Amino acid sequence: MLAGATLLTTAACGSGSAETAAGGKPEVVAAFYPLQWLTEQVGGSDAHVTGLTAPGVEPHDLELSIQQVSELRKAALTVYIKGVQPAVDDAVEAETSFDAATAVTTLPAGGHEQEGEADHGHEVSYDPHIWLDPTRLATVATKLGERLAVADPAHAQAYKDRAAKTAGALGTLDQEFAKGLSTCRTKSLVTAHEAFGYLADRYKLKQIGITLDPETEPSPARISEVAKLARAEGVTTIFTESLVSPKVAEVLANEVGAKTAVLDPLESPPSGDYLSAMRDNLKTLQTALGCTA
Ligand SMILES: [Zn+2]
């Protein structure tokens, strides 16, 4: 058992037990990047936020060390999304956790059958990638402010104020997306990893995903099915992402005569932050979809 624990990933942000006493601030654990960013915005200087998923780790594959599980169990609050990381889903306890998916209206999981899906074993019936819609993330910010206010009543107002400010920044981002994607040559978004359902839902795009699980190799039949759709929709760009091999997207792009471009699902820390990476995504989309606004 111990040997298994040692090969597991290191914690993000140098989380160590020595920091537990830091100023008596509540320990808040965030499961992966967008939630960590959000929790840092809302927690501000009143909370000590650590991330569970180290940069560069595909969060869907996260395994937790025994130490991480124990830190998570001691934390005042763990912020996660059920269905993204089975290891976290198993480790959290109801009273000290906040499942961000419960704060928003979820969309059903992708419509096509996935190979290898059985390996995940913790399938949820909804698509868990809620953070790619800024308005849903704003709702999560507000709820998170309320949860932190309960966990640390002495700073309740400060949490709520920061939550409102964060929700406001996300609202501005939403307006930029709505305007930037209002007039486009095509509204079809072909992605290697089907992570953009909420973004597509919000901005009236049509996501054609090759696979839900970025680790799963799609079948040749699925690739030709997507190629057919992409040609019919006049798609010129196939989107890939930095943590996943671009091979599948390249094979498809070749077949369709399209280019590939990186669209960041923000499952791992970007070079800037959530807001700047989403603005980069917007520019990428505007170019690829031929938007004029
Ligand atoms: Zn994902």
Could you tell me the distance, in angstroms and rounded to a whole number, from the CA of residue 212 to the centre of ligand 1? 7
SS3 assignment, position 237: strand
| Long-range CB contacts (within 8 A, 24+) of 161-165 | 162/41, 162/42, 162/43, 162/44, 163/42, 165/41
Could you tell me the distance, in angstroms and rounded to a whole number, from the CA of residue 57 to the centre of ligand 1? 12
Phi–psi pair at 101, nearest 5 degrees: -65, -25
Could you tell me the distance, in angstroms and rounded to a whole number, from the CA of residue 213 to the centre of ligand 1? 7
Residue 19 has a pLDDT of 39
Residue 44 has a pLDDT of 98
Could you tell me the pLDDT band of residue 146, with boundaries at 50, 70 and 90?
very high
The more confident residue out of 122 and 90 is: 90
Return the closest-CA partner of residue 141 out of 45, 35, 46: 35
Could you tell me the distance, in angstroms and rounded to a whole number, from the CA of residue 243 to the centre of ligand 1? 10
pLDDT over 80 (residue 71): yes
The more confident residue out of 84 and 114 is: 84
* 74, containing H or E segment: helix 66-74
Residue type, 209: G
Could you tell me the distance, in angstroms and rounded to a whole number, from the CA of residue 60 to the centre of ligand 1? 6
- Residue 198 and residue 128: Cα distance in Å, rounded? 9
Residue 212 has a pLDDT of 62
Could you tell me the distance, in angstroms and rounded to a whole number, from the CA of residue 283 to the centre of ligand 1? 21
- Chain centroid to CA 293: 27
Could you tell me the distance, in angstroms and rounded to a whole number, from the CA of residue 154 to the centre of ligand 1? 36
Residue 58 has a pLDDT of 82
Could you tell me the distance, in angstroms and rounded to a whole number, from the CA of residue 220 to the centre of ligand 1? 22
List pLDDT tens digits, range 160-206: 999 999 999 999 999 999 999 999 999 999 988 788 999 999 999 99
Secondary structure of 137-169 in HEC code, one letter for each residue = HHHHHHHHHHHHHHHCHHHHHHHHHHHHHHHHH
- Residue 112 and residue 228: Cα distance in Å, rounded? 15
List pLDDT tens digits, range 91-140: 999 999 999 999 999 999 864 434 334 334 446 889 999 999 999 999 99
Could you tell me the pLDDT band of residue 11, with boundaries at 50, 70 and 90?
very low
- Residue 122 and residue 99: Cα distance in Å, rounded? 15
Q: What integer is the mean pLDDT of 5-33?
A: 60
